[in-house]
Amino acid sequence: MVTDTQRGPDGTSSATDDADLDALIRRIRRHIVRMVFEASSGHIGGSMSAAEIMSVLYTRVLRHDPRRPDWPGRDRFVMSKGHATPVQYALLAELGYFPVEELDTFRAKGTRLQGHSVLGKPPGVENSAGSLGMGLSFGLGMRLSARLAEADTRVWVLMGDGEQNEGQVWEAAMAASHHAAEGLIALIDKNGIQNDDHTTSTMVTEPLDRKYESFGWAVRSGVDGHDTAAVEEALRWACEVRGRPACVIFDTVKGRGVSFMEDNPGFHGAPPSPEQYEQALAELGVTPEARP
Amino acid sequence: MTTAPAPAATREATGPTLIRLHEEGHDIVVADADLGKSTSARLFGDRFPERFFSFGVAEQNMISAAAGMAAMGRIAVATTFAVFAEHAYDQLRMSVSQPNLSVKMIASHGGVSVGEDGASAQSVEDIAVMSSLVNFNVVVPADVVEAEAVIEAAIRTPGPFYIRTDRPKHAVIYTDGARFELGRADQLREGGDVTLISYGLMVERTLEAAALLAAGGIEARVLNMATIRPLDVEALTRAAAETGAIVVAEEHLMHSGLGAMCAQALASRAPVPMEFVGIDNRYGESGVWHEVLEIVGLTPQAIAAAARRAVGRKSG
């Protein structure tokens, strides 16, 4: 039975109070903008939209230990929207999985920080991703394996809302319900924009909540994905779901934190210009010369 | 025991072998896509229901979920038909091949010898598809005895495997026990004039071709190249050097199968006259399995004719 929430085995965590958490999230956003600008490529929008979800999960709910990425008792986090590596790398570095300076190598020759997720590179990345729609299946397999060992390992899978277009997601949703996969938790970063355009233009996925409910999942929707208290409450709710998988649908804003990037399809996978970069960092409270 | 073993399909080895290996301590889980009775994997599920996971008719989810189980340290066996394994190509690529996880895809009903079900059910391209994946071992056993040894090797060897098994019952070649070694061709007949290479149920036909050739004074070496990837380049190069001509016979598209891989390997090492017996840019059709093999030209006579052509092209 998955019951409690706790920190890593050594009590490791950061952002134990709200001010620390807010500061962490600000640094994450600065890292994201800097990494994508310096690499001249990468996915800002869907990284910014997930900053609170990821930061709250890793500092408040996920059982993990940055000093022991292979700790068998850890929860598993599966990044299914594998283009959102900037937010994942920035968070893992800030938490101590690898040096923050390594973020400078994002997408560069010889880096461990490829454009899309690669299992084990850097430490803390639990899956390979990039082709959308596979993470929920991968996480289901992880959870079923953990259950076979009678381990209470929770498996958290972060997906985008555009990703819900993929048929494999619904194969996994059906199978997770069939197998009563308690402890498998789908997190949907519903920022309303996919690669080319708004989801309403490209492919309507709503009503997502009723779809997951009809597949047999426990669903919490309408959660403000940028309100850390609301995010934490929803994540803790998901931990308490019994007998079936849980899904939390977060309402988020793509490009959140930089005015001209917010809800702008132009910042799904394109870097900012030098002028936009300076303005973005100014809005995030730093200059290009300053480290986050 | 004086009676010859009964003919059997290689798929019949899957369930019983997995049961034995789990009983011997291997941490096996099996994923099924609603074909467990036909693949024989269901036998494992009957014995170890908690380790047998039904994913329904959803191969893409099955493969990525099997990869998730492998990421947790299990040896994950995924089973379906060969044509449906191809349905999950990108899952095999990104969920399995790229992270190099221990997912063992055991795909039955390979090739056109599926027979009556017709073209849609007959995999003429699975070896090309699976051999295109980095890190994958690709193996096709010649009979049910070798199939057991192949599955055991896959369970004992870390990393991804694609194993093609077949539907029809056919003769047992390894009546004295399996000799399978991963990555090594097995020489079934010695001969100095030409080398015949094949895998799967074409091995039996290749041995028949060698007998036809011997009656005409041509002595053929026969290699069972059960492991297609990694290719046994050493045995291949030695065969080219020692016999001076090569024929590759396979139940697969000619332009993208083992023959093409052998030609590439030999082109830079020991080019010799080569001939190919395979399926020429077409799909199969309905019929009894051996009839379909004849329709697409996979006969001992065709192999023998190809060998004569190859021998005729040898210089000196």
pLDDT tens digit string along B287-309? Answer: 999 999 999 999 999 999 999 99
Active site residue B59: yes
Picking from A138, A148, A167, the nearest residue to B68 by CB comes out as: A138
Query: Of A71, A76, A81, A128, which to mutate for an interface test with B (greatest number of B Cβ within 10 Å)?
Result: A128
Question: Any bridge partners for residue A224, and if so which?
Answer: A251
- Residue B180 touches chain A, beta carbons under 8 Å: no
Contact check, Cβ <8 Å, B65/A146? no
The residue ranges of DSSP E strands in B2-123, in sequence order, are: 28-32, 52-54, 75-81, 103-108
* pLDDT of res. A268: 86
Q: How far apart are CA B195 and CA B135, in angstroms?
A: 28
For residue B64, give how far its alpha carbon lies from the nearest alpha carbon of chain A (Å).
5
For residue A134, give how far its alpha carbon lies from the nearest alpha carbon of chain B (Å).
6
For residue A93, give how far its alpha carbon lies from the nearest alpha carbon of chain B (Å).
22
* Closest chain A CA to residue B55: A175
- Residue B94 touches chain A, beta carbons under 8 Å: yes
Q: Helices A18-39 & A85-95, crossing angle to 10 degrees? A: 130
* Closest chain B CA to residue A72: B72
ipTM of the complex: 0.95
For residue B314, give how far its alpha carbon lies from the nearest alpha carbon of chain A (Å).
49
* pLDDT of res. A8: 42
Picking from B29, B54, B61, the nearest residue to A172 by CB comes out as: B61
Contact check, Cβ <8 Å, B98/A168? no
Picking from A120, A134, A145, the nearest residue to B94 by CB comes out as: A134
Which tens digits make up the pLDDT trace of B219-269?
999 999 999 999 999 999 999 999 999 999 999 999 999 999 999 999 999
Q: How far apart are CA A176 and CA A262, in angstroms?
A: 34
* pLDDT of res. A290: 76
What is the amino acid identity at position A272? Answer: P
Picking from B51, B56, B63, the nearest residue to A148 by CB comes out as: B51
* pLDDT of res. A4: 36
Token pair of B229 as six digits:
């990837």
Query: Residues B12, B23, B24, B59: which is the catalytic one?
Result: B59
* pLDDT of res. A16: 66
Indicate if the pLDDT at residue B2 is higher than 80: no
Query: Of B52, B54, B60, B72, which to mutate for an interface test with A (greatest number of A Cβ within 10 Å)?
Result: B72
- Residue B98 touches chain A, beta carbons under 8 Å: yes
What is the amino acid identity at position B72? Answer: M
Contact check, Cβ <8 Å, B60/A168? yes
Phi and psi for A154 in degrees, rounded to 5? -90, 145
Name the residue with tokens 């936009």. A276
- Residue B76 touches chain A, beta carbons under 8 Å: yes
Which tens digits make up the pLDDT trace of B170-226?
999 999 999 999 999 999 999 999 999 999 999 999 999 999 999 999 999 999 999
| Chain A environment of B93 (Cβ under 8 Å) | 131
Interface of chain A against chain B, CB under 8 Å? 78, 118-120, 126-131, 133-135, 137-146, 148, 167-168, 171-172, 174-175, 178-179
Q: How far apart are CA A160 and CA A129, in angstroms?
A: 13
Question: Any bridge partners for residue B104, and if so which?
Answer: B77, B161
DSSP secondary structure, A69-126, as one string: TT-TT--EEEE-STT-HHHHHHHHHHHTSS-GGGGGGTTSTT-S--SS-BTTBSTT--
| Chain B environment of A138 (Cβ under 8 Å) | 64-65, 67-68, 71, 95
CA B211 to chain centroid, in Å, comes to: 23
For residue B73, give how far its alpha carbon lies from the nearest alpha carbon of chain A (Å).
9
Chains A & B: contacts with CB separation below 8 Å: 102
Contacting residues for A58 by C-beta, under 8 A, at least 6 apart: A64, A77, A91, A95
- Residue B52 touches chain A, beta carbons under 8 Å: no
Contact check, Cβ <8 Å, B67/A138? yes
Pairing of strands B220-224, B186-189: antiparallel
pLDDT-flagged residues of chain A (< 50): 1-13
Residue B133 and residue B93 in contact, taking contact as beta carbons nearer than 8 Å: yes
Residue A136 and residue A172 in contact, taking contact as beta carbons nearer than 8 Å: yes
Token pair of A105 as six digits:
């190598």
Which tens digits make up the pLDDT trace of B105-138?
999 999 999 999 999 999 999 999 999 999 999 9
Picking from B51, B56, B65, the nearest residue to A138 by CB comes out as: B65
Question: Any bridge partners for residue A228, and if so which?
Answer: none
Q: What is the pTM of this model?
A: 0.95
Q: SS in 3 state form for A250-291?
A: EECCCCCCCCCCCCCHHHCCCCCCHHHHHHHHHHCCCCCCCC
Picking from A118, A131, A141, the nearest residue to B68 by CB comes out as: A141
Q: What is the mean predicted confidence (pLDDT) over B4-15?
A: 95
Q: Find, among A30, A128, A27, the residue nearest to A78 by Cα.
A: A128
* pLDDT of res. A289: 78
Q: Find, among B256, B262, B206, the residue nearest to B231 by Cα.
A: B262
Percent of the residues in chain A that have a pLDDT greater than 70, as a whole number: 94
Which tens digits make up the pLDDT trace of B274-287?
999 999 999 999 99
Q: How far apart are CA B117 and CA A45, in angstroms?
A: 49
Token pair of A72 as six digits:
């068998």
- Residue B159 touches chain A, beta carbons under 8 Å: no
